[in-house]
Structure 1
Amino acid sequence: MSRFLIAAAALSLAILPGAALAHSKLVSSSPAANATVAKPTKLTLTFSEKFLAPMSGVELVMTGMPGMANHAPMPIKGFKTALAPDGKTMVVTLPRALPAGDYDLKWHIVGADQHKMEGGYSFKVK
């Protein structure tokens, strides 16, 4: 077998498993990472692929409050998550607008391929 055929076969084997193992990624969010927004009542996270809503969710923590040095992290509770009709967007509905402060959002989803992905980002509310 020629060197060309051997190299082509090796390249094919290297590329194909990578395509099969592609995982969903966060492609957009509102608020966006590192954004400063006015008191949101809803957050959205859109992923590159559909995911399983019952096994997916977010954690939201207020990490800083204006005028309060050494503010202890405060988990935000009482929100509801839902899957948008596109099957790729998680909608987080808050019980009330978020007050001014710094926030960390951590997300986790389980893709249709049963793989768990997770990530997070920060944003500010003015």
Structure 2
Amino acid sequence: MDLRELAKAAQGKLHLLTREEQEILLKELEELELHEDKEQCRNSYMAFVKKMWPGFIPGRHHEIVAKAFEDVISGKIKRLIINMPPRHTKSEFASYLLPAWFLGKYPDKKVIQTSHTAELSVGFG
């Protein structure tokens, strides 16, 4: 029985545990939730974006771009061009958040960013 199943089974019976046992259970559940949250962010670009950008309101185009980025990272897509109007999070998604997610997923890798101007490239990273 895993920790979540144990906690669910104990629901309604927590009063039978000592205060110390309740605190230990709560701490372990919080650690489990944190671990699961980290794993979800490591495996899903969109989960990472939502975690790093709390006020972010995703649109359908964000889901499509996030999936395309995941496919690039996994090797399913070899080349990708993103064309969207201004103010649709191209820079935030591709130049700020994607390198951070990629390096969190593959800390032994390196990222090179280029741009049409040096100032813009430096600003991204």
Which structure has the highest strand share of the two? Answer: 1
Q: Which has the higher contact order (CA 8 A, sep 6+)?
A: 1
User: Do they fold alike, i.e. is TM over 0.5?
Assistant: no
Q: What TM-score comes out, normalization by structure 2 length?
A: 0.27
Q: What TM-score comes out, normalization by structure 1 length?
A: 0.27
